[in-house]
Amino acid sequence: MRAVRTRTAAPRQVFGAGAAAGGRGTGPDLFLLAVAVSGISLSAPLIAATAAPALAIAFWRNAMAVGVLAPLALTRHRTGLRAMGRRNVLLAVAAGALLALHFALWLPSLHMTSVASSTALVTTTPIWTTLLLRLRGRNSPPLVWAGTAVAFAGVVILTGVDLTLSPRALAGDALALGGGMAAAGYVLLGAEVRRTVSTTAYTFVCYTTTAVLLLAACLVSGADLGGGYSGETWLKLAVLTVAAQLLGHSLINRVVRGLGPSVTSTAILLETPGAALIAALWLGQNPPAAVYGALVVILAGLALVVRGNAGSARRARA
């Protein structure tokens, strides 16, 4: 989509340009989105199998990704980095800060409340995405609201809602909910920057910010950054970086420009049943029967969101 240059039009376009792309390249983008969801679905099983502190895992997956992206970003995309402009750099830094906040809030919540509650609450991302778009002045079609509700219902079918009244569990629930809100902001800011900035330039600035902030969090909390890690642990961290960060988050940053934040954030809900199926194949953990029904329900909700955004784009072009 051609970037809007006028001062009067720009505020109305913030956070909304991607969805208005009208489906150009939708087929390839949906394929890449499927690859991205497969990548992030490896995240939970890999984290569960990796003998390292959660915050350290989050730091290394971002730091290693920056190490991979740096040669490409500083050579072939150096012009793009210079051309980002102050506003886009600040938005990319803000997105990186929100991604770091997402990790810093959600991962500790897994040890404070039940995994089911933490998963259900952190995956409220598409709900916050749709609400934030509404606050920015963009009216989402009824099908988008309906699809978001249906998709989230699929997550609840799989995880359940296991809220308790203990102060520690309630604090963990609040952290997970905050992690879902932070992820929504990350997706929305990424969609805005990606209107005019390449995926490599944006992700390099974003991941660098995330890595720096998570490093600070690790140093403050005293998390072990690798003094006693085994070779197997480092290998798992490398696989996590490739699968969840470079193929997962980076492809999400790639497709959010064409598919829009509503579709992208809703598709991320597929991580929950995807992780359960991967854990079954890799770790031998038999998934509950509900995983298959939840997968169908989430896909149905995603289809409604895609259809609602496509219909809105057609009406905007008419």
Q: pLDDT band for position 162 (50/70/90)?
A: low
Q: Return the percentage of the chain with pLDDT > 90, whole number.
A: 36
Number of helical (H) and strand (E) elements in the chain, helices listed first: 16, 0
C-alpha distance from residue 124 to each of 108, 118, 160, 184, 314 (Å): 17, 10, 13, 9, 28
CA dihedral 56, 152, 185, 208 (to 10 degrees): 30
CA-nearest of 196, 255, 190, 201 to 80 is: 201
pTM of this structure: 0.78
**Mean pLDDT (whole number) for 82-94:** 95
Q: pLDDT band for position 188 (50/70/90)?
A: very high
Q: pLDDT band for position 3 (50/70/90)?
A: very low
Distance CA 308, CA 138 (A): 13
**Mean pLDDT (whole number) for 133-160:** 79
pLDDT digits (tens, 9 = 90+) for 208-254: 999 999 999 999 999 999 888 999 999 999 999 999 899 998 999 88
Distance CA 304, CA 298 (A): 10
Distance CA 87, CA 95 (A): 12
CB 46 within 8 A of CB 244: yes
pLDDT digits (tens, 9 = 90+) for 263-276: 888 887 787 777 77
